Amino acid sequence: MKKLKLKKKNLGDFINELTRDYALYAPQEKEGTISFSLVEKPEEITLDYHNSDTSPKEIFFPQKEVILTYQDGNSQPVFYEGKPFALLGVRPCDAKSFQLLHQVFSTKKFEDPYWLTRFKNALIIGLACNDTLPTCFCNWLDGSPHGKEGMDILLTDLGETYLAEAVTEKGESLLKQQKDWEEASEADLKQASKLEETALKSLPPKIESAKLKEKLDGMWDDPLWEEIAQRCLNCGACAYLCPTCHCFDIQDEGNEKNGKRIRLWDCCMYPLFTKEGSGHNPRKNPADRVKQRFMHKFNYIIQNFDKYGCIGCGRCITYCPVNIDVREVLKQILET
Amino acid sequence: MEQNQETKQTTKSENWEPRIMAFLCNWCSYAGADLAGVSRIQYPPNIRVIRVPCSGRIDPIFVLRCLQSGYDGVLVSGCHPGDCHYISGNYVARRKFVALRAILNFLGIEPGRVQFSWVSAGEGEKFSEVIKKVTDDVKKLGPASRLVKKD
Amino acid sequence: MGTINEDLRKQAQKLLANKEIDYFVGCRQGTIPFRSAPHAFRTEAELDQLTFDMTCSNNLAQFLHKNYKKGDKIGIAAKGCDARTLIQLMAENQFPREAIKIIGVPCCGVLDQKKIRDKLGGKPVLKYSLPSMEEILSGKKDTLTVEGKDFKEEIKLADVVSNNCLVCEYPSAPLADTFIQEGLKQEKASGSMNWLEKFEKMSSDERWEYFSKQYSKCIRCYACRNACPFCYCEQCIVDDSQPQWFGKSTNLSDTMVFHIIRTLHVASRCIGCGACTRACPTGVDLVTLGLYLDKEIKERFGYTPGLDPGELPALCTYKEDEKQDFIM
């Protein structure tokens, strides 16, 4: 696979090139919040960032998506019709989350056309983390600050330049078109692997994550859930910022003549999430809902898709108003 | 109360006429409106009436929902203080209205959009005056746009 | 007399040892800078984790109320706002006065994590040091030191304290069984900058623009609602489906209506603790609306919530001869 060097001063040209063929999304700061937004001008982008406050999953799986409209008795599904998406500057953990979501939304039994329309043909250009956050723990969950999973191209910041490594055929062919980018030298590659080493060292010491699933198998009635639920507010901040949470709700808005059907994010922390038509709620207690969150991520998803349901980005740790730290919870699970 | 054909037409046409929702209490204001009707007192045809048992029945969400659905103005009218059929419904409502009004003003919703009045069953004339004033005020403000639900 | 923390632990230990309470509600140091975790301390051995400082930004009365079961006897370390919340909840008959042992702690405001982040431009803080409560309260120190990968900065506490603390009129518990270090009791927010003045000077268009921008950041996670000590309805109006009063998406109109309704539902009960704003992951300014309404209600009805457990909230009662200048 090709390994080239992109000079930082030429980044603008590359971005302009991307915006021609793609709907390009990159981290941008608005009102003090960094999120992936549509790029109109290259100078709006901030690649010098740790990680976006909201997760980039919202591009392929928007918080609110109209999936159907109806008028006078006729209905029509609505699919995304714009240019294919390109994401620039995605962190390795978030890129990995797309892979999991793709697996969830395209199983053998069912393929979600709304996800597929958006995700298909998407170009993911990742950006390796040279500097990690104190809340990062991707190394616990098969991830790495320089991981390539889920990307087409991986960029590594080498100071004056970005090292651009093709990961997929698609990335390779895009790099082949870049006639004026230099080939990366041995020294560059060495520098990149050194950066990776430093980044890895800055992460917290690993735990025995492989044992999580087995441990959780026996923890259905554990008092741990009650203990966490004591302070858990049962809000959706963790789920709505989480790059792998993918539960949704379908709502109809309109009247008898015309209207639309929208898909909205939903969250297992809300009592309404499992409330049945009869009024019965199988997850009535906050502790049950807390259990669901951790069971889903570290047991059910592992069982169904053979990977962790968490990628270790640490957003939930940063934003939990009552300091429920998933790392602490995982340690507690292993200790039981 | 969903935004229907009617709103779409009114907002674009030049001789735009506001649509105003009037919540009238059963015992006083609704009867006042009735009296205005049987006494053939003229008032602008811009109001749509919803009869409620008491002004105390008005949950602020009703008013907000009207504004969301594209109503250009909302009037809430009940019995004069001391005349409430349920003794204290309008007193409690009055405090609720203070809070609603304060919050809407603070957020930047024009004060004329949401108005309140006391109209008794014998005040057909006053009812017509109130409707005239509300309609005039809302006309001056133009079609509602803030808080109207758009896609 | 020891430090505030020592005294607090001593008090809690006494209550637990004498079996006067079933558990003590306080804060534990968090796992990341500037966050703390509310915790129910059940044993004396746990108490060495009990702390109180400017990072204890959660409303502990919310935690207490959420976990309260009839018959419980609970002790609590209460800042002014925690105590006022308790008083207000007592006025709403949520628990009897005797069930709660209120230990008042002197407070000089709590930190707003987002303000610190904005101040540092998002650079992660690895280490920080806060002066002791005694030093801050006595006015000896007014800065905090933060350290990151390649920076070390001093930040003025007044710049990163929560907005609601800047206008706080009751930093000390108006009702308490014991007060820790009475001498350090604060009477009123020291920096009493009137946060609302800025908004009252704005035109209505400017305010609309400001609030539209704020509410468009909302992701409808309901952290504000759930962190609020007064949002304890069995089922929230948002979750009603028959009828569904307003949409559940991030549509600006729906979002605004949600926040208006939430503010109205806690009107004359909100004591301005700012828990909503601090819980918000996207930094929506939520407390301003509540503070404004609080002020309006105070001016009009002469009522301040959270001062008297025997008094009904202003919006649950009335006076016959009240000013009604806005009613035709």
Our CA-based measurement puts residue A234 at a distance from the nearest CA of chain C, in whole angstroms, of 7
The string of pLDDT tens digits covering residues B44-54 is 999 999 999 99
| A314 neighbors A136 (Cβ within 8 angstroms) | yes
Prior bond of B60 cis (ω within 30°): no
The CA angle B29-C258-C222, to the nearest 5 degrees, is 150
Our CA-based measurement puts residue B22 at a distance from the nearest CA of chain C, in whole angstroms, of 14
| C-alpha to C-alpha distance for A290 and A296, rounded to whole angstroms | 10
Residues of chain C found within 8 Å of residue B96, distances taken between Cβ atoms:
264, 315
| C-alpha to C-alpha distance for C49 and C41, rounded to whole angstroms | 9
| C-alpha to C-alpha distance for B128 and B73, rounded to whole angstroms | 16
Question: Quick check: helix, strand or coil at residue A336?
Answer: coil
Residues of chain C found within 8 Å of residue B88, distances taken between Cβ atoms:
318
Flag whether pLDDT at B94 surpasses 70: yes
Residue C190: what pLDDT?
53
Residue C140: what pLDDT?
87
Which one is predicted more confidently, A256 or C25? C25
Instruction: Scan for tokens 């809302």, then name that residue.
Output: B138
**8 Å CB contact of A237 and C279:** yes
The string of pLDDT tens digits covering residues A91-121 is 999 999 999 999 999 998 999 999 999 998 9
Q: Chain A residue closest to B2 (CA)?
A: A255
Q: Phi and psi at residue A313, in whole multiples of 5°?
A: -80, -25
CATH entry, B18-141, from 3.40.50, 3.10.450, 1.20.1640, 1.10.150: 3.40.50
In this complex, which of B96, B98, B108 lies closest to C205 when CB atoms are compared?
B108
| C282 neighbors C222 (Cβ within 8 angstroms) | no
Instruction: Name residues whose C-beta falls within 8 Å of residue A81's C-beta, 6 or more positions apart in sequence.
Output: none
**B50 DSSP β-pair partners:** B23
Which among B10, A129, B67, B97 has a CA at the least distance from the CA of C301?
A: B97
- Amino acid B2 reads E
Our CA-based measurement puts residue C280 at a distance from the nearest CA of chain A, in whole angstroms, of 8
- Where are the alpha helices (H) located in chain A, listed in sequence order? 11-21, 57-60, 92-105, 113-119, 169-176, 186-201, 212-217, 223-231, 237-241, 286-295, 301-305, 315-319, 326-335
The string of pLDDT tens digits covering residues B15-66 is 899 999 999 999 999 999 999 999 999 999 999 999 999 999 999 999 999 9
Instruction: Output the six-digit token pair for C259.
Output: 């926040």
Sign of the dihedral defined by the CA atoms of residues A207, A213, A215, A220, in that order: positive
For residue C12, give the H/E element and its range: helix C4-17
| A235 neighbors A317 (Cβ within 8 angstroms) | no
Residues of chain B found within 8 Å of residue C314, distances taken between Cβ atoms:
95
| C-alpha to C-alpha distance for C41 and A214, rounded to whole angstroms | 31
Q: Which residues of chain C have pLDDT under 70?
A: 1, 189-194
Residue B9: what pLDDT?
47
Residues of chain A found within 8 Å of residue B2, distances taken between Cβ atoms:
254-255, 259
The string of pLDDT tens digits covering residues C62-108 is 999 999 999 999 999 999 999 999 999 999 999 999 999 999 999 88
Our CA-based measurement puts residue A143 at a distance from the nearest CA of chain B, in whole angstroms, of 39
* CA C69 vs CA A221, C91, C94, C99: distances in Å: 21, 17, 10, 10
Residues of chain C found within 8 Å of residue B115, distances taken between Cβ atoms:
328
The string of pLDDT tens digits covering residues C260-277 is 999 999 999 999 899 999
In this complex, which of C222, C282, C283 lies closest to A235 when CB atoms are compared?
C222
Question: Quick check: helix, strand or coil at residue C268?
Answer: coil
- Amino acid B122 reads G
Our CA-based measurement puts residue A62 at a distance from the nearest CA of chain B, in whole angstroms, of 15
Domain boundaries, chain B: 18-141
Residues of chain A found within 8 Å of residue C30, distances taken between Cβ atoms:
323, 325
The string of pLDDT tens digits covering residues A40-51 is 888 889 898 899
User: With an 8 Å Cβ cutoff, is A252 touching chain B?
Assistant: no
Instruction: Output the six-digit token pair for C181.
Output: 């270090």
The string of pLDDT tens digits covering residues A128-158 is 999 999 999 999 999 999 999 999 999 999 9
The model's confidence at residue B3, banded by pLDDT at 50, 70 and 90, is: very low
- Amino acid C71 reads G
Give me the count of residues in chain C.
Answer: 328
Number of neighbouring beta carbons within 10 Å of residue B36 = 22
| C216 neighbors C208 (Cβ within 8 angstroms) | no
Flag whether pLDDT at B7 surpasses 70: no
**8 Å CB contact of B81 and C205:** no
Helix axes C60-67, C80-91, angle to 10 degrees: 40
**8 Å CB contact of B61 and C204:** no
The string of pLDDT tens digits covering residues A290-325 is 999 999 999 999 999 999 999 999 999 999 999 999
ipTM confidence score: 0.90
**Averaged pLDDT score across all residues of chain C:** 90
Helix axes C252-265, B89-107, angle to 10 degrees: 130
**Averaged pLDDT score across all residues of chain A:** 93
Instruction: Output the six-digit token pair for C230.
Output: 């007064």
Q: What is the mean pLDDT of residues B81-85?
A: 91
**8 Å CB contact of B116 and C297:** no
Residue B13: what pLDDT?
60
Question: Quick check: helix, strand or coil at residue A177?
Answer: coil
The count of CB pairs under 8 A between chains A and B is 5
Instruction: Scan for tokens 């599904």, then name that residue.
Output: A77
| C-alpha to C-alpha distance for A303 and A310, rounded to whole angstroms | 13
The string of pLDDT tens digits covering residues A196-224 is 999 999 999 999 999 999 999 999 999 99
Sign of the dihedral defined by the CA atoms of residues C283, C284, C285, C287, in that order: negative
For residue C226, give the H/E element and its range: helix C223-227
Question: Quick check: helix, strand or coil at residue C133?
Answer: helix
Residue A85: what pLDDT?
96
Report the DSSP pairing between strands A3-7 and A161-166: antiparallel
